[in-house]
Amino acid sequence: MAYKIHEFSKITGLTPYTLRFYEKEGLITVKRDQNNIRIYDDRNKEWIDFFMHLKKTGMTIEDLKQYLVWWYEGDSTNQNRLDLLKKQKEIALSEMKQLQEGISVLDHKIDIYTKKVNDGQENSKKDDA
């Protein structure tokens, strides 16, 4: 199917500004009609869905661009793409571990303050930091 930018924006959840930015950055290739209006298609949607997942892992715009260059170059770059995806997975797992550690500290403090509140120690001057 073919979509104009406002229709495509609703489908993807991305603003028209963001779509134009991604196009300007070379992350989306968009066809134009006879009036020079952007026309998006289902292939654009598939690519955006994929690269938005990569962005959720913290992948940079530069790495997304590199991945796309390699994708256009074809199967001869499969190893490069595999290496990039593995590297990004390691980065995401490391960040996830740090978040889990932070959440554990939060859970511990929440337990302490919940106990204090439930025991009627809301006005206690002692603070466990």
Is the per-residue pLDDT at 125 higher than 90? no
Partnered with residue 39 across adjacent β-strands are 31
Contacts 24+ apart (CB under 8 A), 45-54: 45/8, 45/11, 45/12, 48/12, 48/14, 48/22, 49/12, 51/27, 52/12, 54/88
Residue 74, classified by CB atoms within 10 Å of its CB into exposed (0-12), middle (13-18) or buried (19+), is exposed
Give 10-36 pLDDT, tens digit per residue: 999 999 999 999 999 999 999 999 999
pTM of the model: 0.77
User: What percent of the chain lies above the pLDDT cut of 70?
Assistant: 93
